[in-house]
Structure 1
Amino acid sequence: MSDETRTKTNEINSQDKMVNGSAWMTGGSILSRILGVLYIIPWMGNKDVATAANALYGIGYTPYALFLNIATAGVPSAIAKQVSYYNALGEYQVSRDIYKKGLQIMAITGVVSAVVMYVIAPFIASNSPVATVEDSTQVIRSLSWALLIIPCMSVTRGFIQGHHTMAPSAISQVIEQVGRVIFMLMAVYIIRIVMNGEVVDAVSASTFGAFVGALFSTLYLLFVIWRKKPEMDRNLAISKKNSTVSTNAILKSIIKTAIPFIIIGSGITLYQLIDQLIDQFTFDPMIRAVTNMTTKQIIDHYAIVAVNANKLIMVVISIAGSMAITSVPVISELLAKNKLKDMRDQLSNNIQLFFFIMFPAVIGMVVVSKPLYTVFYGYSAFGTSILQWSSYMSLFLGLFVLFGSTLQAIKQTKSALTSLFIGLVVKLITQFPLLYLFQTHGMLLSNILGFGVTIYLMLLALNKIAPLAIKPLAKQLSLIVLVTLAMSLIVFVVQLSMYQLFDHKNRLGALFNVGISATIGGFFYLYMTLKIRLADRLLGNRIEGLRRKLKIK
């Protein structure tokens, strides 16, 4: 086999790993996010109750997300990166030792984080925009239990991902959400309908479902490892054992690799916390100064921005998260083998694949934002506007996740951290004036500016290490933008037609609107990308079968 053929084959193999992994992780992540949105179902009957429940839910989940990032400390991604690295070198014993040490670390950090979150719950609640501190404290504490089990579950996912096996991780995400949603629906039904209980008790029970879902997911992952044990034992028997790494060295290596992951991985949560903290001191008095809003209306606005729209855009952002998770072991393996050209090509492919999936998803969500918001939360012109701006923001959040993970995979954590820090400074500087000028929308605009600066700096850092072929990349991205704009125009026309048939304020009519618009828009985008061979470049020859089925030449 010639060097050129071997290089091409390696590139295809890397791209196949990326596409296959992304497909599994994206499918699992999107499905799990959609299941997560089902939280709104028990509250659909009463809009005021739904808004109050969402506000409590958001107040609990924002600090929980930060504690979860602290508890896992980026170890799952670090484990995936290091397992992939040592497996590529044939050092399977080292990979197993890394996993065992990671489990020990996660058990300790999980317990500590759970205890701390439980203890300081009253402090967090007292500094949040809520009606009562007691209710918020109860919800926050109900989430702390999940921290006992999720860290170990996450590190197990990382170990499996390090073997370039993404299907179990994706399936475990779905199992986690299915278990959580079933428990949540049953708990809310019993508390609210059967027992006629309080909203806070129902919310606390539903958020405790995070622990139940994690338990089911963990059991499944342990079953996967048990099933793969013979294969892993065979690999262990042929381990090269050229590298002798002590337990302390493994611990230091995990910590060294993990620390940047927590800062980058917590970036979105950190931005949300800054939003929340600044809102506590500026949002309430500023809104009161320029409007006649009541306390309840202010809390409603907070729920729409921080919870309602956020839950919907997280479905889209999960695509980027899935790609980032998949790309870390692939890029790490190429770096371990010193295949810099293949690594550069893979980076370019990752960016193109990101825009190929994310850009139409974001623009599509913007176009159907009115009926989409109506389906889940009831008609609201303000909610629709917030969802549109949040959708634009999700594109920046997605790029942030992808670029941050990629920089760490190529050992450029300093550049990633510097970019994040500068972006946070921009966010802090612009938050107050934008809140003053644009009220609630200013929160989203400051996020976009902060993430925009961070993304730009990260892209510069990536280009220094692996200079991208700008013209071919720009050509592919231009095609994606043109096809997406054509799709959005068609969906917009369909929307106008649907408004003539269905009341845009009616939930059922909005559901038909979203379903028909998304189907037509999705089919058009798929058809055009197949027709101009854009999909072939990113998804490989396997797409040829789909083209034949659709009779596209």
Structure 2
Amino acid sequence: MAETNLMRGTKILTVATLASKILGFIYVVPFSALVGQTGLGLYSYGYTPYTILLSLATLGFPLAVSKFVSKYQSLGDYETGYRLFKSGLLVMSITGLLAFLLLFFMAPVLTPYILPDEQAGVNSYEDIIFTIRMVSVALLIVPIMGMIRGYFQGCQSMMPTAVSQVIEQIVRIAFILSAAFLIMNVQDGDIGLAVGFATFGAFVGGLAGLAVLLYFLFKNRTNMLGLATTNASSKPLPLKSMYKELIWYAIPLSIVGLAIPLFQLIDTLTINGALAKIGMGDISENYVGVLTQSAHKIVLIPMALATALSVTLVPTITNAYTSNDSVRLQKLITQTFQLILFITLPAAVGLAVLANPIFVALFGLEDLAIGGETLRYYGPITLFFSLFSVTAAILQGINRQLLAITALLVGLVLKLALNNLLLLQLGPNGAILATYIGFSAAIAITIWGIGKHTSFSYQLIIKRAGLMLLFALIMATSVWIIDTGLRITLPLDNRLNSFILSGIGAGSGAVVYAYLAYRSRMAEVVLGARFKRPD
């Protein structure tokens, strides 16, 4: 019964996480209509450093606490986890305050690096500083919220986290859109003010999420206190020992989780200056908005689906590794790779083929020249994001956290070394190429590490990946032919046509890919017997 409840809770949390991510993508469409790609660029100037400071403030503690609490409760020691939770709330309060102060007062220092020449940009230094400072306030409460979520998850209670995630996102989005609409359409229409208040939505949404968690906390406080009091260890674990164990697990999680934000930070700090040097400063801020917000939000959708579907496999991999069940471990790693490739390969190819109609459908014609081309080249990065996320998680599952960190550092060094150079040589697409190179190197290391430390053979994966790629290319050719034919009567000159083109293109592509996967029995191999083809 306990296992059934845990699986039900995990499914609820997975659905809530997906819903939260989808909501986080959808709001960008009306928000961009209000503030434009320049406004989205300004939004990213504040949100990218905020995301990094948030990760540093939490240090991966929420997830580590969930593992820690789960471990000791499985041993019948509820008191140790509860003591860690109480002290963790104080620690997260302190680190959140320090992160807030650091980001708030560092805003004027960061701004000249983000926009080297204020006169060449649409956004002013004052706008950027205001935006960074408004979003920094969220650091006061979000780490605390993460700690409470981690404790509930450790107690195998997923509902509080699920509900708070969705409520937090809904309130945040409602505030963002309301504030932007009122300032842009009722007040004087100042983009800097609108975006600044929009980033403050992180704090408002955080308050709503925290309120939900406190409700669940007070609702269950009697049971939690009772269990902690009556189920205590005869030899209480000192806080020093607790945090030593916690930090060893948490810091690698935190660093690896920073992969995408750190790559984005490099783009944020280098794109404007590099493009200004080659005479493209007039489009640089629009490009930052497209790359770090519009196109980026689109590519995260298939990645979120892939990682959500595979997330239940990773703890199982840990169990198989620690119990020395090599046959089961090989099977699980194979299943994980197949699942990720099966979902993200066609999505990556599809985004490249349908980049123009998708961008126009979501963000309009105004920035198609930049947005369509960016999405065409950036869309396939969803495959790289997914592969790194899953392979790094597998390495952590087999206690090779340091190798995952090493892979990320190598990728970041390459990105940092090449970004400015490639921007100067290739223009805007140079930043995208540098991201591909950085993630390719990181993935190569993680894949090598998995093979070395689990004796995993990639022969079968390579064979099946090649077949999936072939199906994706056939799908892409079909979609391109259909899209080209439809444009004779549905030219890409309005959003209605682009919605039709995107819908028919994506639908026909899905049908072609599904048919090929079904006929070849690939769907049965990856997704199970329910997709078995009759003989």
TM-score surpassing 0.5? yes
Would you say the 8 A contact 1:80–1:328 is kept in 2? no
Task: Report the counterpart of residue 6 of structure 1 in structure 2.
Answer: none
Task: Report the counterpart of residue 206 of structure 2 in structure 1.
Answer: 214
Unaligned runs of 5+ in 1: 1-12
Please state if 1:121 is matched with 2:110: no
Of residues 60, 74, 79, the one that matches 2:46 is 60
Task: Report the counterpart of residue 409 of structure 1 in structure 2.
Answer: 397
Cα drift, residue 441 of structure 1: 0.6
Distance 1:19 1:471, change over 3 A: farther
Q: Deviations along 1:273-307, whole A, 9 cap, x unmatched?
A: 2223333543321x22xxxx4x4333223333333
Cα drift, residue 236 of structure 1: 6.5
Cα drift, residue 244 of structure 1: 4.6
Cα distance in 2, alignment partners of residues 479 and 27 from structure 1 = 33
Please state if 1:360 is matched with 2:346: yes
Which amino acid in the other structure matches residue 363 of structure 1? V
Cα distance in 2, alignment partners of residues 516 and 258 from structure 1 = 45
Distance 1:484 1:450, change over 3 A: same
Cα distance in 1, alignment partners of residues 526 and 221 from structure 2 = 34
Would you say the 8 A contact 2:52–2:258 is kept in 1? yes
Cα drift, residue 348 of structure 1: 2.4
Cα distance in 2, alignment partners of residues 303 and 173 from structure 1 = 25
Cα drift, residue 336 of structure 1: 5.2
Cα distance in 1, alignment partners of residues 290 and 47 from structure 2 = 15
Cα distance in 1, alignment partners of residues 16 and 522 from structure 2 = 21
1:37-436 aligned at under 5 Å gives the runs 37-44=26-33, 49-87=35-73, 89=75, 91-129=77-115, 130=121, 131-162=123-154, 169-224=161-216, 241=233, 244-285=236-277, 287-288=278-279, 293=280, 295-319=281-305, 322=308, 326-327=312-313, 329-335=315-321, 337=323, 339-379=325-365, 380-436=368-424
Cα distance in 2, alignment partners of residues 161 and 531 from structure 1 = 41
Q: Deviations along 1:16-65, whole A, 9 cap, x unmatched?
A: 999995795267336534444423414426xxx51221121111111111
Would you say the 8 A contact 1:334–1:342 is kept in 2? yes
Cα distance in 1, alignment partners of residues 511 and 42 from structure 2 = 38
Which amino acid in the other structure matches residue 494 of structure 2? N
Would you say the 8 A contact 1:82–1:95 is kept in 2? yes
Distance 1:494 1:329, change over 3 A: same
Which amino acid in the other structure matches residue 306 of structure 1? T
Would you say the 8 A contact 1:149–1:211 is kept in 2? yes
Task: Report the counterpart of residue 477 of structure 1 in structure 2.
Answer: 465
- Residue range with higher mean Cα deviation, 17-26 or 527-536: 17-26
Would you say the 8 A contact 1:317–1:397 is kept in 2? yes
Which amino acid in the other structure matches residue 263 of structure 2? Y
Of residues 20, 25, 28, the one that matches 2:17 is 28
Cα distance in 1, alignment partners of residues 234 and 520 from structure 2 = 49
Cα distance in 1, alignment partners of residues 13 and 350 from structure 2 = 22
Cα distance in 2, alignment partners of residues 276 and 492 from structure 1 = 33
Would you say the 8 A contact 1:64–1:144 is kept in 2? yes
Would you say the 8 A contact 2:295–2:375 is kept in 1? yes
1:519-534 aligned at under 5 Å gives the runs 519-534=507-522
Q: What is the TM-score of this pair, normalised by structure 2? A: 0.86
The alignment partner of 2:379 has SS state of: helix
Cα distance in 2, alignment partners of residues 167 and 366 from structure 1 = 37
The alignment partner of 2:389 has SS state of: helix
Would you say the 8 A contact 1:81–1:409 is kept in 2? no
Q: Deviations along 1:357-392, whole A, 9 cap, x unmatched?
A: 222222222222111111222231332111122112
Would you say the 8 A contact 2:351–2:380 is kept in 1? no
Q: Deviations along 1:63-91, whole A, 9 cap, x unmatched?
A: 11111111111112322333444455555
Cα drift, residue 531 of structure 1: 5.0
Q: Deviations along 1:110-141, whole A, 9 cap, x unmatched?
A: 11111211111121223212531111111111
Cα drift, residue 402 of structure 1: 1.8
Cα distance in 2, alignment partners of residues 174 and 63 from structure 1 = 23
Distance 1:77 1:526, change over 3 A: farther
Cα distance in 1, alignment partners of residues 13 and 521 from structure 2 = 23
Task: Report the counterpart of residue 118 of structure 2 in structure 1.
Answer: none
Cα distance in 1, alignment partners of residues 114 and 338 from structure 2 = 40
Would you say the 8 A contact 1:67–1:117 is kept in 2? yes
Task: Report the counterpart of residue 7 of structure 1 in structure 2.
Answer: none
- Residue range with higher mean Cα deviation, 393-402 or 19-28: 19-28
Would you say the 8 A contact 1:18–1:330 is kept in 2? no
Cα distance in 1, alignment partners of residues 382 and 283 from structure 2 = 26
Task: Report the counterpart of residue 493 of structure 1 in structure 2.
Answer: 481
Task: Report the counterpart of residue 437 of structure 2 in structure 1.
Answer: 449
Distance 1:429 1:139, change over 3 A: closer
Would you say the 8 A contact 2:310–2:339 is kept in 1? no
Would you say the 8 A contact 1:162–1:329 is kept in 2? no
Cα drift, residue 443 of structure 1: 0.8
Cα distance in 2, alignment partners of residues 505 and 190 from structure 1 = 29
- Residue range with higher mean Cα deviation, 523-532 or 486-495: 523-532
The alignment partner of 2:27 has SS state of: helix
Would you say the 8 A contact 1:149–1:214 is kept in 2? yes
Cα distance in 1, alignment partners of residues 434 and 306 from structure 2 = 21
Q: Deviations along 1:438-482, whole A, 9 cap, x unmatched?
A: 111111111111111111111111122212243333344344333
Q: What is the TM-score of this pair, normalised by structure 1? A: 0.84
Which amino acid in the other structure matches residue 102 of structure 1? G
Cα distance in 1, alignment partners of residues 343 and 15 from structure 2 = 10
Which amino acid in the other structure matches residue 404 of structure 1? A
The alignment partner of 1:455 has SS state of: helix
The alignment partner of 2:456 has SS state of: coil
Of residues 485, 503, 508, the one that matches 1:515 is 503
The alignment partner of 1:44 has SS state of: helix
Would you say the 8 A contact 1:77–1:325 is kept in 2? no
- Residue range with higher mean Cα deviation, 147-156 or 224-233: 224-233
